[in-house]
Amino acid sequence: MSKKVLFILTSRNQYDDGTPTGLWLEEASEPYNILTEADIAVDITSIEGGAVPLDPNSTQNNELDKYAEFVAKIKDVPSIAEVDVAQYDAVYLPGGHGTVFDYAHNQQLSSILADFKDEDKIISSVCHGPSAFVGAKDKQGNFLVNGVTLTSFTDEEERAMGLENKVPFLTQTELENQGAKFVTKENFTEHIETDSQFITGQNPQSSVAIGKALRDALK
């Protein structure tokens, strides 16, 4: 039977100051294409359901045309509350700055991740997606990523973009505070980490690599 992956996307469309943000398109569409081309089924959901907002900075270079098929699929998606997560072999959480507002400290999302961890299913995420792990605990009440080797968008990358004061927290710092063994590589270069069931990527430049790693882990 073909493997199934659940994509969970952000529903948040702005920073607290009103500047638009949302999903970073490449981080979802590249893995989607890689997985579906390998005959792995992908279902797409978001935190609140409905249309998924796109970070306008992720559509500056003809991405809306390049990823038109995927963009059409996120015009109206179910919310995570509507999905039976038990049917999936893996969960994938792409980034975009919207995620730091609606992934972190999200009890519903935390519960889903705790189920995946408990059942030893794959948990994969890239860039700001690992903000989903911030505040998340496993079924034993420990931080989900305590002792896990992983990566995400780094504090240095956040500062390089001048966005460190627009986000509610720095993802790397928060994950380190929760016991993660955080690995950084050079800013804006491809980098993924795999530790048991966790597959994580540092930045948008890691979108293809994490898609391939997730595909290969599901073979």
Tens of pLDDT, residues 119-167: 999 999 999 999 999 999 999 999 999 999 999 999 999 999 999 999 9
Domain range spanning residue 194? 4-217
Residue 137 has phi, psi (to 5 degrees) of -125, 155
What pLDDT does 84 receive? 94
Task: Say if residue 1's pLDDT is above 90.
Answer: no
What pLDDT does 74 receive? 99
Cβ contact 127:203 at 8 Å: yes
Using CA atoms, how far apart are residues 178 and 25, in angstroms rounded to an integer? 28
Using CA atoms, how far apart are residues 154 and 134, in angstroms rounded to an integer? 14
Other CB atoms within 10 A of residue 43 CB: 16
Model confidence, pTM: 0.98
The token pair that represents 104 in the structure block: 């972190």
What pLDDT does 154 receive? 98
Single-letter code of the amino acid located at 177: N
Cβ contact 16:87 at 8 Å: no
Single-letter code of the amino acid located at 16: D
Task: Using alpha carbons, list the distances in angstroms from residue 61 to 25, 33, 34, 50, 108.
Answer: 11, 18, 20, 25, 34
The token pair that represents 161 in the structure block: 């973009």
Task: Give residue 36's region: left, alpha or beta (phi > 0; psi -120 to 50).
Answer: alpha
Average pLDDT over the chain reads: 98
Single-letter code of the amino acid located at 135: G
Give how many domains the chain has, as a whole number: 1
The CATH number covering residue 134 comes to 3.40.50.880
Q: Which of 85, 78, 34 is nearest to 216 (CA)?
A: 34
What pLDDT does 2 receive? 86
Using CA atoms, how far apart are residues 20 and 10, in angstroms rounded to an integer? 13
